[in-house]
Structure 1
């Protein structure tokens, strides 16, 4: 806030902003309209799923994709392979109806996400499998035999 100081002809300093502790109507309206509205309404309108984080591990025999997505059912997922692209998607809809004496209240929500990953040529896409247990989706991507890491061996000199 800008504090203006006026110097009267008698030389004394006087603060021209005497009511600075009292908000003006325009300050009050600015405060209302400049608030972070998404945080105000987050509890009522932000019911969608955010993009879940993924862990990808590589072993000598396979790649493992883990995704934490609690609160869903196995049937909510759609996992597909197309042209060496793995896609993991889900779409859920929820609707609740509450009937009271004088009114009916309906609440509904919709959430979805889709993650895609380009698979390396070393993945054997015929043997991919997935499991979902206690909120953790795990997809095992076995490697082709020729791509598997072979153990070290000694070569005898003849």
Structure 2
């Protein structure tokens, strides 16, 4: 398991306008900060849902692996940017990656796990096995 650590950067104001970009915004963007994205886990009658906040990524940046009862969610993003001006050439390479591993309960049906990435949130649906779902109460007749 991993923990989320929030970092605040205190930089002099003269650094904020470096090449017309706000350095604080660049460092604090979750997709590029190297921090672990926030995760919500919700359980209902049908199963579990994991929501992982990862704005700035594409669905092709994610990799999900299930080995036994271990679900590993990882992402890797590489961004290259080049700006040519009369006086200078600026190149920036940004790399970002993270990995989170969850131990799933044996009630999850690993064959039916589905994932969707939309609006900066990766949603993973982990349905329960039929035998693990809560059954409605029934009356048993005495013979």
If the length of structure 2 is used for normalisation, what is the TM-score?
0.77
Q: Secondary structure at the match of 2:60?
A: helix
> Relative to structure 2, which stretch is displaced further, 76-85 or 146-155?
146-155
Deviations 1:130-158 (A, max 9, x none): 01111111101111111111112233455
Unaligned runs of 5+ in 2: 1-8, 16-22
1:118 counterpart (100, 103, 119): 103
Q: Secondary structure at the match of 1:126?
A: helix
Higher relative contact order (CA 8 A, sep 6+): 2
Deviations 1:96-148 (A, max 9, x none): 11101121111121111111000011111011100111111110111111111
In 2, are the aligned partners of 1:48 and 1:109 still within 8 Å (CA)? Answer: no
2:76 counterpart (78, 88, 91): 91
How many pairs align?
Answer: 121
Matches within 5 A, 1:41-120: 43=24, 46=27, 47-120=32-105
If the length of structure 1 is used for normalisation, what is the TM-score?
0.70
- Kindly tell me: are residues 44 and 73 of structure 1, through their superposed partners in 2, closer, same or farther at Cα, counting changes over 3 Å? closer
Unaligned runs of 5+ in 1: 1-37
In structure 2, the residue matched to 1:153 is: 138
Q: Secondary structure at the match of 2:33?
A: coil
